[in-house]
């Protein structure tokens, strides 16, 4: 697969910008939750933002190098990674609800709203990144010309 240095630089710059926007969204949610619900709201929003950013960030950290090395196995690894993250997220939710902190020390509404807001922003940013990233799916120089074998 052919890539250029300018494409890699553009991808890295876009990734930094999108990460900054996602973190800023989490910080805004934390500030609003702190203003509305106090310390419990800020803690709930902080937990929600960290969970969402870690959930989506791990995918980028694992899949980006893999797609450059072995594009054929990227989908399998992505599905296994997604399944693993869902199980870890379920275990974290059960542990949080069983601990008794949810409701007393952590505002559940702030956590939920932050998770929804950050997930929507990160998803939109990933769609924008995929739409603007121009990576060739195949290399025209390496494919055989079927027209010559008549």
- pLDDT tens for each residue of 14-38: 777 778 888 999 999 999 999 999 9
Contact 37, 44 (CB under 8 A): yes
Kindly state the percentage of the chain with pLDDT values over 70. 80
- The reported pLDDT for the residue numbered 117 is 94
d(CA 7, CA 134): 8
- As given in the structure block, the two tokens for residue 62 are 């694992």
DSSP-derived secondary structure letter, 114: H
Q: What is the CA radius of gyration of the chain?
A: 20
| Average pLDDT in the chain | 81
Half-sphere exposure of 108 (CA within 13 A, CB side): 8
pLDDT tens digits for range 100-135: 777 778 898 999 999 999 989 988 888 887 777 666
Confidence class of residue 147 from pLDDT cuts 50, 70 and 90? low
């Amino acid at each position: 697969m052919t890539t250029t240095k300018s494409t890699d630089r553009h991808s890295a710059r876009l990734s930094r910008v999108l990460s900054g926007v996602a973190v800023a969204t989490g910080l805004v949610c934390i500030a609003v939750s702190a203003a509305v619900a106090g310390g419990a709201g800020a803690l709930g929003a902080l937990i929600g933002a960290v969970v969402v950013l870690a959930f989506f960030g791990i995918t980028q950290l694992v899949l980006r190098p893999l797609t450059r090395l072995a594009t054929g196995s990227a989908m399998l690894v992505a599905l296994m990674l997604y399944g693993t993250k869902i199980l870890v997220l379920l275990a974290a939710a059960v542990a949080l609800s069983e601990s008794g902190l949810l409701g007393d020390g952590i505002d559940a509404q702030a956590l939920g709203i932050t998770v929804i807001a950050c997930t929507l922003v990160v998803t939109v940013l990933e769609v924008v990144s995929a739409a603007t990233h121009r990576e060739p799916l195949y290399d025209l120089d390496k494919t055989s010309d079927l027209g010559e074998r008549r």
